[in-house]
Amino acid sequence: MIWISRTTLRFDLSSSIPKFQPFLSNPSSLSSFCSHTQTPLLHDHYVPQAVFQFDSMIRTHPVPPIYEFGKILGSLTKMKHYPTVISLSKQMEIKGIHHNLFTLSILINCFCHLSQMTFAFSIFGKIFKLGYHPNVVTLTTLMRGLCTNGEVKKALNFHDKVVAQGFRFNEVGYGTLIQGLCDIGETKAAIQLLRIIEVRSIKPNVVMYTTIIHHLFIDGLANEAFDLYSEMVAKGISPDLYTCNILIDALCKEGRIKQAKNVLAMMVKAYVKPDIVTLNTLMDGYYLVNEVKNAKHVFNLITKVGVTPTVYTYNIMINGSCKSKKVDEAMNLFRDMHKRNMVPDTVTYNSLIDGLCKSGRIAYVWDLIDEMHDRNQQPNVIIYNCLIDALCKSYHLDEAFELLKTMMEKGIQLDMYTWNILIDGMCRGGRVEKAQEIFHDLLIKGYPLDVYSYSIMINGLCKNGLLDEALTLWSKMEDNSCMPNAVTFGIMIRALFSKDETDKAKIFLREMISRGLLKS
């Protein structure tokens, strides 16, 4: 666990962390990287023009000043063409064009983004060798590179080294360290760091607070997150859109929709415009607590406030409508997506097909599956499970088996849910022998049959009057270290009582009580 003192940022077990290479390492290592790095395909219109301009510049006599090269390299870096920048920089060196601090810093940034930290520190050493003094941007870039590559302890070590040499970091640098600590689960250490930098007269900002608040929620520490938020506001630091979205999401997940709505009201009051993430989260929250009317109200509000709905927006509404058994509304939303030229994704189809299957409207499903094929979207196991379930419940067992074969032919991995649906369907449809055949085949093949699978089969046997077989399977279940639950006990007890096997039923009942499965 990381601990941080007020004088330096250190960590326990520091002796186990490898030391950095000296800053003045071999600058020629750039050459070895470039020899193995190819310029990527240049898709952007600007990139080939920039490379052509660069080539023209290095052939010009006299050579243009270095800042002109820096402009091109900087632009390419912003476009994330890092290998291209490194390749062009190598060409500069071959032509004898010397780097300045700005171009060297660009190179460090590129190597960090490519997770080539050894080369990044090699360039850092070159900065010292050439007599330059690295600025806070360069130092922060190196720290960010270490943190991004999961080497947060090294980043803390690096911080200590450069601070000891008289350098100072700003809010961005410490924000980088806080982000890095949170990313490796060291949220408490991040809070420690937040306290320390205040002593160093560096004012914590909304980004630092929001980062920690977000990770406290991820860690399940909601109360601590809300306390930190209150502290932030008390210090006069106004929450931004990202902070508000995190709060609304956390509140909605806890079912505290009223408080989430209050955060939205606060945003409006503070002139923080909600975005689609804000409104999607609130809609999802309303559906979570079954406030369908309010969810629809938020959906209708989206375009009115000048926000563009996304596929995810429609997925929330379609899923919510289907779960509320309003499949026609879901279909209307689906048609609205088409009108907006929005391409539904697998989640959209999953929700809609599930809703249609559960409402017994299987005929509509085949058209949706055809549409998926037309869009090169293959139905997944969830969609097939919905269909098999619907076919079994409508006693179209042969069709369910055909669909199962189709799944296998398409190489779709069947899960236990698929088999459970089929076994249950066979039992309900009077084909208990077929269900037993499937069940025992799964046992032989070593499938992970759980209590739910056994309960389905035992229930099927009991319903079909095969009580002895059910008791045999019960014994086999316990032999396979699968313990029956309250549902399994309930099935057996009811079946025994219905057959006037009162004494056996009482034995099961007493066993159920002794295992603490009978709720008062």
The tens digit of pLDDT for each residue in 207-263 reads 999 999 999 999 999 999 999 999 999 999 999 999 999 999 999 999 999 999 999
Res. 15: pLDDT tops 50: no
Q: Cβ atoms within 10 A of the Cβ of 188, count?
A: 18
Which phi and psi (to 5°) does residue 11 adopt? -145, 155
Which tens digit of pLDDT belongs to each residue from 150-162? Answer: 899 999 999 999 8
Q: Which two tokens stand for residue 466?
A: 């095969």
Predicted local distance difference test score (pLDDT) of residue 5: 55
Quick one: which H or E segment has residue 115? none
Q: What is the mean pLDDT of the chain?
A: 88
At 293-310, the pLDDT tens digits run: 999 999 998 988 889 999
Q: Residue 44 — very low, low, confident or very high, per pLDDT cuts 50/70/90?
A: low
Q: What are phi and psi of 220, to 5 degrees?
A: 80, 15
Q: Which amino acid is at 114?
A: L
> DSSP letters of 91-104?
HHHHTTPPP-HHHH
pLDDT tens, 420-466? 999 999 999 999 999 999 999 998 888 889 999 999 999 999 999 99
Instruction: Report d(CA 480, CA 474) in Å as an integer.
Output: 10
Tokens of 187: 């949220």
- CA trace torsion 463, 469, 471, 472 (10° rounding): -150
What's the pLDDT at 215? Answer: 95
Give the pLDDT confidence score for residue 157 in this predicted structure.
92
Angle value at C-alpha 54, between 49 and 56, nearest 5 degrees: 95
Using the predicted structure, report yes or no on whether residue 114 has a pLDDT greater than 90: yes
- Structure token pair of residue 145: 């590179």
Whether residue 24 is predicted with pLDDT greater than 80 in this model: the reply is: no
**Backbone φ and ψ of 79, nearest 5°:** -85, 5
What is the residue-wise DSSP string for 492-515? HHHHHHHTT-HHHHHHHHHHHHHT
- Predicted local confidence at residue 333, as pLDDT: 96
Find all residues with CB under 8 Å of 416, minimum gap 6, and list them: 447, 448, 449, 450, 453
pLDDT of residue 363: 86
* CA 331 – CA 349 distance, rounded (Å): 11
pLDDT digits (tens, 9 = 90+) for 150-203: 899 999 999 999 888 888 899 999 999 999 999 999 999 999 999 998 887 788
The Cα–Cα gap between 473 and 461 comes to: 9
Distances (CA, A) of 426 to 243, 278, 443, 487: 52, 46, 17, 20
DSSP states of 293-339: HHHHHHHHHHHHTT----HHHHHHHHHHHHHTT-HHHHHHHHHHHHH
Q: What pLDDT does 9 receive?
A: 62
Q: CA-to-CA distance for 387 and 508, rounded, in angstroms?
A: 37
Please compute Rg for the chain using Cα positions. Answer: 32
Nearest-CA neighbor of 250 among 282, 294, 296?
A: 282
